[in-house]
Amino acid sequence: AQSVTQLGSHVSVSEGALVLLRCNYSSSVPPYLFWYVQYPNQGLQLLLKYTSAATLVKGINGFEAEFKKSETSFHLTKPSAHMSDAAEYFCAVSVSSGGYQKVTFGIGTKLQVIP
**Smallest separation, CB 63 to other proteins (Å):** 15
| 102 in contact with other proteins (CB under 8 A) | yes
Binders of other proteins among residues 34 to 63 (CB under 8 A) are 34, 36, 42-46, 49, 51-52
From the list 29, 40, 20, the residue with the least C-alpha distance to 91 is 20
Residue 101 engages other proteins in binding (rule: CB under 8 A): yes
Element at 68 (helix H, strand E): strand 64-68
Q: Which is nearer to other proteins, 82 or 102 (CB)?
A: 102
Nearest to 27 by CA among 63, 56, 67, 66: 67
The tally of CA atoms less than 13 A away on the side-chain side of residue 94 is 14
Q: ∠ CA(10), CA(60), CA(70), 5° rounding? A: 65
- Told to check if 112 binds other proteins by CB under 8 A, we report no
22 binds other proteins (CB under 8 A): no
What three-state secondary structure class fits 8? coil
- Tell me how far, at minimum, the Cβ of 21 lies from other proteins, in Å: 13
Smallest separation (angstroms) from other proteins to the CB of 98: 7
Contact set with other proteins (CB under 8 A): 32, 34, 36, 42-46, 49, 51-52, 90, 94, 96-98, 100-108
